[in-house]
């Protein structure tokens, strides 16, 4: 048997999203949480086939649109990567909104509109994507997408984690997932592409150590727990940016984009330290050199924790439309896991 799966790929800041548009089984469940659980239990082989070689690569993300129980959402969205099914993905929302609008997947814009809003339900909560449209010849394209994220908050500041014989201090914050944020000077590894193997190893070790000593739980949703990634921050290269960063997930996957959801977590830390630019954008630079711009849109509480409502703006570009074939006789039908 040969199963065809059709996708549209896009990238935001150099990080790829592969959005499945046909051939993927419909996740089962009345709520998005139930569909997320179904995908984690039953979607492993298809997830691996889409994001691992020979059809993908280990650092990419895939997504599938699904039904939402929320009356305000246009659709639910579930993300997949080489490790599993993350609760949300900032660059993925920017890319998915761009694909959905430019390919009219479930939304038709009027010719005189200069922008439009899509609302996605993610396992982490509702994410709003406001797309700004621009005229390119005879067509309107998505120029940028501003996402209003789930509330971001600090879980623990200056948390000690032991890596081998030394101790590092990390700030743990939530921005759609929990991140351990560490200064590269303290880590002793510069933010340079040539040092990615070292950053990958250290990021994985930091996540493991943080989960062993301070494994966080979301106060409003017990299904979201544990540090999902380490964000290394350092001085920017771009004169417009305030910080440069790279994210390494707990399994060692690398995000070279500025990481929109991680940007929300970094903003929560900076705000708690009194270092967030008041009334001005916080500009975050990824290892790829791309930028996102974050703004504080409001303040709220999550449990007993002060939290920020952040807006993070970035751009995405469609890179291709593909039909992948999963052949039962192919020895690498489910991808290669090195």
Cβ neighbourhood burial of 183 (10 Å; 0-12, 13-18, 19+): middle
Collapsing DSSP states into helix, strand and coil, what is residue 183? strand
Distance of CA 122 to the CA centre of its chain: 11
* Residue 159 appears among annotated catalytic residues: no
pLDDT attached to residue 215: 84
From first to last of its 338 residues, the chain has per-residue pLDDT tens of 889 999 999 999 999 999 999 999 999 999 999 999 999 999 999 999 999 999 999 899 999 999 998 999 999 999 999 999 999 999 999 999 999 999 988 765 444 566 789 999 999 999 999 999 987 777 778 999 999 999 999 999 999 999 988 999 999 999 999 999 999 999 999 999 999 999 999 999 999 999 998 889 999 888 899 999 999 999 999 999 999 999 999 999 999 999 999 999 999 999 999 999 888 999 999 999 999 999 999 999 999 999 999 999 999 999 999 999 999 999 999 999 87
Contacts of 83 (CB under 8 A, 6+ apart): 249, 250, 251, 253
* CA atoms of 153 and 162, how far apart (whole Å): 24
The secondary structure of 258-317 as a DSSP string is --HHHHHHHHHHHHHTT-SPTTSPEEEEETTS-EEEEEEEEEEEETTEEEEEEEEEE-EE
Selecting among 66, 89, 159, 207, the annotated active-site residue is 89
């Amino acid at each position: 048997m040969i199963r065809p799966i059709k996708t549209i790929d896009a990238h935001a800041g150099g990080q790829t999203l592969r959005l499945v548009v046909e051939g993927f089984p419909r996740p089962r469940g009345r709520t998005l949480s139930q569909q997320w659980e179904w995908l984690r239990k039953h979607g492993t082989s298809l997830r691996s086939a889409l994001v691992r070689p020979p059809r993908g690569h280990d650092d990419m993300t895939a997504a599938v649109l699904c039904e939402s129980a929320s009356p305000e959402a246009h659709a639910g969205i579930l993300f997949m990567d080489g490790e599993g099914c993350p609760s949300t993905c900032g660059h993925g929302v920017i890319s998915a909104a761009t694909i959905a609008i430019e390919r009219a997947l479930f939304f038709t814009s009027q010719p005189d509109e200069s922008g439009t809003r899509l609302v996605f339900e993610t396992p982490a909560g509702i994410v709003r994507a406001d797309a700004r449209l621009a005229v390119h010849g005879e067509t309107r394209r998505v120029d940028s997408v501003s996402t209003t994220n789930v509330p971001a908050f600090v879980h623990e500041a200056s948390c000690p984690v032991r890596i081998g014989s030394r101790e590092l201090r990390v700030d743990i914050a939530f921005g759609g997932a929990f991140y351990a944020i560490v200064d590269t000077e303290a880590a002793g590894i510069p933010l340079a592409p040539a040092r990615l193997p070292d950053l990958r190893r250290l990021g994985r070790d930091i996540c493991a150590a943080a989960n062993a000593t301070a494994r966080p739980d979301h106060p409003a949703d017990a299904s979201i727990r544990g540090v999902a990634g380490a964000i290394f921050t350092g001085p920017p290269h771009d004169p417009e940016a305030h910080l440069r960063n790279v994210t390494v997930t707990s399994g060692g996957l690398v995000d070279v984009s500025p990481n929109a959801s991680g940007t929300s977590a970094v903003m929560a830390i900076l705000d708690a330290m009194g270092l967030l630019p008041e009334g001005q954008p916080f500009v975050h630079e990824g290892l790829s050199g791309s930028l996102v711009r974050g703004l504080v849109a409001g303040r709220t509480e999550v449990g007993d924790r002060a939290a920020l409502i952040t807006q993070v703006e970035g751009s995405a570009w469609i890179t291709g439309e593909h039909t992948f074939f999963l052949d039962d006789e192919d020895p690498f039908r489910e991808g290669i896991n090195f």
